[in-house]
Amino acid sequence: MGSKIKIDRALAPIGGLLTLSERFITGDNPLGILAQAAILVRGEKILWVGKQDDVPASFDLTEADIVDLSGETVMPGLIDCHTHLVFSGSRAGEFDLRVKGATYLEILKAGGGIGATVRATQEASFDELYDLGIQRLSHMMRRGVTTVEAKSGYGLSPEGERRLLEVMRALDRDHSAEIVPTFLGAHTIPPRYKENPGKYVESVIQEMIPDVADKSLAEFCDVFCEEGVFDVTASRKILETARQYGLRLKIHADQLAASGGGALAAELKATSAEHLEYLPEAVIPAFRDAGTVAVLLPVAGLYLMMDRIPPVASLRRQGVPIAIATDFNPGSAPCLSLLTTMTLAAATYRLSTEEIIKGVTIHAARAVGREKVIGRVEEGYQADFSMFPVRDYALIVTTFGETLPTRVMKRGKWVPLASSTQPLKTVV
Amino acid sequence: MGSKIKIDRALAPIGGLLTLSERFITGDNPLGILAQAAILVRGEKILWVGKQDDVPASFDLTEADIVDLSGETVMPGLIDCHTHLVFSGSRAGEFDLRVKGATYLEILKAGGGIGATVRATQEASFDELYDLGIQRLSHMMRRGVTTVEAKSGYGLSPEGERRLLEVMRALDRDHSAEIVPTFLGAHTIPPRYKENPGKYVESVIQEMIPDVADKSLAEFCDVFCEEGVFDVTASRKILETARQYGLRLKIHADQLAASGGGALAAELKATSAEHLEYLPEAVIPAFRDAGTVAVLLPVAGLYLMMDRIPPVASLRRQGVPIAIATDFNPGSAPCLSLLTTMTLAAATYRLSTEEIIKGVTIHAARAVGREKVIGRVEEGYQADFSMFPVRDYALIVTTFGETLPTRVMKRGKWVPLASSTQPLKTVV
């Protein structure tokens, strides 16, 4: 026994394991589903995955925490690859204004929108923002999410942006959820720069990006590339600077109009481009060639009552990886549930169940630059899992956010599902 | 003190009380909101509601359970006025088929749809159906619902329909949720009557309705009035018979085509008509004059990927009461959350926050014929409340089902929120 490898945890998902691993994916089995599977965990990582009958004798399971998961569907921990996690203040009233006919840009011009959140966030203390972040992450994990991309962008000054990224760093350190921090200083032009927006772009380039990079506060730089906010020229300048400082690139692109953001993402080989309701068809081949992930955000589409959806059929036909995210934010997507978002994405964008599952696992992992670490159940990957109390994984997508996981594991450890001590049973 | 009236519970919703009571509703205050309010409960009923400073001295609060609800929004217990609560079997796969292009009627004709649920329900025991019902009701109450309309319709034989209604009676007796039972024998034509659908209509009229009425198993009779299912002539015959037997009337009308169901609802002065995507504009005045409630079901609209919504603007303009419900069922609406449904209704039907709140309280109460008993916070009404951890009630509508109540009271008693022992805090 001395030469055997000690296993910390062995999981036996009899109901079905969605590996999303190329080892198991075939034409007939696009999610790499394994029945009668076993997962062996050592430390933070997956050491072995395969059929229960094939567990090698070289593993020592005598001290392992062996978990029988009959009847459960086990899948990689979900990845919410686009959120505005850290902010203060409610903008619930805006939704009703939009229902009654006001547009996003009208609300923005009236001093609502992002500006209102910037003011409320500036007034909140570090601890208040941290506490909100902890609550939100727990809420998200309760819904199966183990990795959260989080954007700054409610500071809009060197100190303000730095503070938000520092809150994220503290959250990543203290909470079991994993945070991928993104610098989004170019979220909107703050009012004090209204007469001279170019000066704000200079501040982003000359002050904020160097500061963020120097302190290693972000992995990505994002820009809200849209008419009246940051045009293609300004966005290119910001993103090229960010790349020089070692940041990877994301773009809020072609959401409200065809503003050139999608083409810029392809040109700069951005890791991802987000929203994309107005992405021109002609840009899609360049997108695919650049390896850019299309991150679709159907909750914002719903809340903004857009009569247009992204060019899903073309993205699919041309092989662009499609990820799905909540876009959690207080204005256009005050929704913390990636599960609810998945149902909405299926119904409104006509994404298949398999596409939805890939959109919150392998493709979302790629959108946050961690496709070698998370998003699959494969040897060497992080032991991040969500376990749902259903045999038919389709129910995770069809029940509109109401099928919650019974257990969640992050980096080899069970996550205490704090906000709800008893799992909600699936009842559909 | 001897002459004072003993109070069982006194609730002090400092954050805001949505009374929905005509005593407090004004043009500026369409929901009858009271700040610094107090509610006094005796037994199952509301004895007094008003300002805290105005509590009459004739009440004896010495033994009352006094609850300080600062920061909470208190509203009448929500009413889900259209559900297919009792069934067995999952039809999760159908959703993906629809995403890929199959229509509802195609799935129906291929032996899927309602037929699949009828088979699975027939195979389930009384106890299995009862247990599923208990779980579902607890899940719904956790989301603020205190009254649930429930339709039969997966039996399709005198014994099968009776059994479902008996399950509902047992649920109503044992669970703190209140059930309004509806007989929906005319849900679809069972395959054995395919060659002679008229014979099934005869069975509904001559066997089922008399049996249901004789045993007092239902308060309402509903019909799925749609092309290829029950046409207007058959629907009229069924509903007129039901009325003769003392049942009140509901109609699934004009959902998939303009099939005349809405006009029939107005002609028969039905209590409610549901779905209504194809309700002709010309029928709306008759609808209003008949006092029929329009019950809108946006989840089914989403899951069926309909490109048409009910004529909301005309219904509003002509003063038809609009209610909102989940339509919970395993095919077109596997969603147990009325809260999620409320957000969807606002965004897809452009209903205002006030209309949504009325749609799950006073108008839903009218749709289930209990407008004198539930749906408001008013003297003499049942003490049914849901208490949400937000000061701004708009957040209940905007957070896509994620703001759960901290407490729920039904008929003067606190409901144990069993499926989640700790309330989920609002984090938006």
- Which chain B residues are within 8 Å of A100, Cβ to Cβ? 350, 352
- Residues B162, B21: one domain? no
Name the residue of chain A whose CA is nearest to B117's CA: A428
B307 in contact with A at a CB cutoff of 8 Å? no
Residue A46 lies in a domain: yes
Domain with residue A281: its CATH number is 3.20.20.140
Determine which of A98, A398, A399 to mutate to test the interface with B (most B C-beta atoms within 10 Å).
A398
Give the SS3 label for residue B181.
strand
- Residues A223, A325: one domain? yes
Question: pLDDT for A134-171, tens place per residue?
Answer: 999 999 999 999 999 999 999 999 999 999 999 999 99
- Residues B198, B262: one domain? yes
Nearest to B95 among A99, A394, A422 (CB): A394
- Residues A117, A129: one domain? yes
Give the number of A-B residue pairs with CB atoms closer than 8 Å.
Answer: 156
- Which chain A residues are within 8 Å of B142, Cβ to Cβ? 424
User: How does residue A428 score in pLDDT terms, banded at 50, 70 and 90?
Assistant: very low
Q: Do B135 and A425 count as a contact with CB atoms less than 8 A apart?
A: yes
Ramachandran region, residue B369 (left: φ > 0; alpha: ψ -120 to 50; beta: rest): left
Residue A425 lies in a domain: no
Residue B407 lies in a domain: yes
Domain with residue A27: its CATH number is 2.30.40.10
pLDDT of B70 above 90? no
Question: What is the reported pLDDT for A411?
Answer: 97
- Residues A10, A101: one domain? no
Residue A426 lies in a domain: no
Q: What is the ipTM of this complex?
A: 0.93
- Residues B117, B32: one domain? no
- Which chain B residues are within 8 Å of A347, Cβ to Cβ? 95, 99, 302-303, 305
pLDDT (mean) for B9-31: 88
Q: Which residues on neighbouring strands pair with residue A9, listed in sequence order?
A: A41, A65
Neighbours of A28 (CB within 10 A): 6
Distance from CA of A74 to the nearest CA of B (A): 17
**In angstroms, rounded to a whole number, what is the distance separating the alpha carbons of residues B162 and B166?**
6
Name the residue of chain B whose CA is nearest to A390's CA: B90
pLDDT of A186 above 80? yes
Question: What is the reported pLDDT for B80?
Answer: 98
pLDDT (mean) for B127-151: 94
Residue B166 lies in a domain: yes
Q: Do A136 and B427 count as a contact with CB atoms less than 8 A apart?
A: yes
Contacts with B111 (C-beta within 8 Å, 6 or more apart), sequence order: none
- Residues B148, B65: one domain? no
- Residues A206, A287: one domain? yes
Outline where DSSP puts E strands in A99-196. Answer: 145-151, 178-186
Which segments of B142-207 does DSSP mark as H helices, in order? 158-174, 197-203
pLDDT of A427 above 50? no
Distance from CA of A180 to the nearest CA of B (A): 20
User: Contact A99/B351 with Cβ under 8 angstroms?
Assistant: yes
Which segments of A224-260 does DSSP mark as H helices, in order? 232-244
- Residues B48, B103: one domain? no
Q: Do A350 and B99 count as a contact with CB atoms less than 8 A apart?
A: yes
**In angstroms, rounded to a whole number, what is the distance separating the alpha carbons of residues B327 and B190?**
21
Q: Residue B274 corresponds to which amino acid?
A: E
- Residues A164, A285: one domain? yes
A330 in contact with B at a CB cutoff of 8 Å? yes
Question: What is the reported pLDDT for B420?
Answer: 45
Q: Which of A97-111, A216-230, B205-219 shows the lowest mean pLDDT across its residues?
A: A97-111
B114-123 helix and B158-174 helix, angle to the nearest 10 degrees: 70
Residue B237 lies in a domain: yes
Residue B258 lies in a domain: yes
Question: pLDDT for A41-66, tens place per residue?
Answer: 999 999 999 998 999 999 999 988 88
pTM: 0.94
Distance from CA of B334 to the nearest CA of A (A): 5
Question: What is the reported pLDDT for B421?
Answer: 33
A173 in contact with B at a CB cutoff of 8 Å? no
B297 in contact with A at a CB cutoff of 8 Å? no
Question: What is the reported pLDDT for A168?
Answer: 98
User: How does residue A421 score in pLDDT terms, banded at 50, 70 and 90?
Assistant: very low
- Mean pLDDT score of chain B, rounded to an integer? 92
In this prediction, what percent of chain A has a pLDDT beyond 90?
Answer: 79
Locate tokens 């999410």: which residue?
A: A145
Question: pLDDT for B343-362, tens place per residue?
Answer: 999 999 999 999 999 999 99
pLDDT of A422 above 60? no
Residue A419 lies in a domain: no
Structural domain including A270 reads: 78-367
Name the residue of chain B whose CA is nearest to A303's CA: B347
Distance from CA of B317 to the nearest CA of A (A): 14
Write out residues 73-112 of B within 8 Å (CB-CB) of A.
Answer: 90, 92-93, 95-96, 99-100
Nearest to A399 among B334, B424, B425 (CB): B334
Locate tokens 């032991």: which residue?
A: A383
B29 in contact with A at a CB cutoff of 8 Å? no
Based on the structure, what is the number of domains in chain B? 2
- Residues B174, B64: one domain? no
- Residues B71, B84: one domain? no
**In angstroms, rounded to a whole number, what is the distance separating the alpha carbons of residues A1 and B422?**
45
